[in-house]
Structure 1
Amino acid sequence: MRGLSKRFGTFTAVDDLTFEVAPGRVTGFLGPNGAGKTTTLRMLLGLITPTAGEALIGGRRYADLPRPMTTVGAALEATGFHPGRTGRNHLRVLAATHGIPDSRVDELLELVGIPAAARKKAGGYSMGMRQRLGLAAALLGDPDVLLLDEPANGLDPEGIRWMRGFMRHLAAEQGKTVLVSSHLLGEVEQTVEDVVIIANGRLVRRGTMDELHGEPAVLARTADPGALGHALEQAGLQVELAPDQGEGALRVHTGDLAAVGDVALAAGQPVHELRPLRTDLERLFLELTESPEHRNRNRSTGTEAA
């Protein structure tokens, strides 16, 4: 998408948003509630007309795709089901619009783990079951692009682990482009490879997960940080005190824990703690989205745009 904007009267929900999503990777589209994530996804799917800019899928607008279900699948909410229709019949109706056989429906019901519930009316589904049914609907046409809006909502811990593994499989093993939105960084940290963070409809940070974690470092805690620090420096490592990590803590600028441990052993310096020291992504997310220029402007009014 390039220069994508959407205004509703005087309210700007999405503001000059530009980013790309790479194939074969899971991209986290992150931001607090009301940041404009769902509005952006709806513009990608042609459900909302942009005020400015363009939202393209494979270089085309959604409206110009000849067989959209085979190009892009989307699960934007878990409520778009007729309550009196069974899960299986819901998928069969969707499949019929693109000439997709019922065998594909049954395959997906098995794949997302709700074959036993397929003949029950969707009105009686739990939130987690509706999420799985929505995912099955998104995958009907075996699309290359998958858009998922808060897919872990309503899932139990086992379901969340399953969803994480499933998204990674779709990207890494099948080469699909997966864009997943969430307002909780910790929820998707174990899944995504690339990150796009927005606040108040504007881009505030993008990059790989490794880039957001920052340069690799090791925390070494010892009774005599001065002596251990000197030994590490003599071994060619950059070291500094880390008072934010507690008493006796050193920050060593390397990702090699074994090297730090070997130096400590050779210097006769006991190490009480040795672990990777990474940027706290949840804290980074909050710092980015809660800074004065990015704080949610709708909180005082009680109205939020998704």
Structure 2
Amino acid sequence: MDFRLTDDQRALRQGVRELLEGRFGPDALRAAVHRAEREGEGVLDRELWRELGAAGFFALRLPEADGGVGQGLPEAVLAFEEAGRVLLPGPLIATHLAAGAVAGAAGGETVVTSVDVDGGLVEWLDEADVVRGDAAGAEPLASVDPLTPLHRLPAPAAGGPRSGAPRTPRPPDALLASLLTAAEQLGSAARTCETAVQHARTRQQFGRPIGAFQAVQHLCAGMFVRVEVARAAVYAASVTADPADIAAARLLADEAAVRGARDCLQVHGGMGFTWESDVHLHLKRAWIRTHRAGGSTRSEEELAEELAAGTA
């Protein structure tokens, strides 16, 4: 099976990258963070949301006969990978999955969020026009990421199955949410890897670029390997759409994003831990994503069940 990107897929990725970096570059990211600090919580940019809708971001997988772009899951993964690179905020996945089912979602006129029963959380609840699922009784939760406001579900809704009880397969939307989350994690991991390498090439100590030192080389090499392994797994899962492939891709992407951001902080040294550096924003978003759509725990359990079934 050939997982290499086609010319059309490369063009799509490049187009989405240019749109997002032009509309939500580093300055816009910082402005959004400062605005969230002033107002106490993330505030969604409705104009940007409509621009995404007009560009077909939310309707990417919707059939052309229904007003969509008519692309497939691999193309959606490429788009969400680019969203992860720039830390684009908002309930992107929930709105994308609602295209065609919720009026206005495909065009970006309606902001949709969903109740993540597996994780016990709801993102962007106050900003959403439509909430898919029962969010009754959800309470605000302090979020480590200034651009991802959270609500926590009451304990009965957030609880998983009892120990020893059979686990029911996840519905298709939950699997897709996990895969698209992995795509965002992949994009973030790639960006922090690039940031670390660029800093290692330009920052000098003892008259040499710090990238000349073996310890820094090992950090950057490890980041690159994790990114490329995760990329192969995420792209493959987007083609097969197999639950076990999605679970494996999610685990690898979560690790690449979290460990990559941590290693990028180390490469930057003391300045990496300052508020002025964007690296900490990638780490915080990566932490938040690890709890979405069941998180690593659900993926580990699904992959273990698949492996056990295969050896039975």
What's the TM-score once normalised by structure 1's chain length? 0.24
- Which has the larger share of helix? 2
Point out the structure with max Rg over C-alpha.
Answer: 1
- Which has the larger share of strand? 1
What's the TM-score once normalised by structure 2's chain length? 0.24
Structure with larger RCO (C-alpha < 8 A, sep 6+):
1
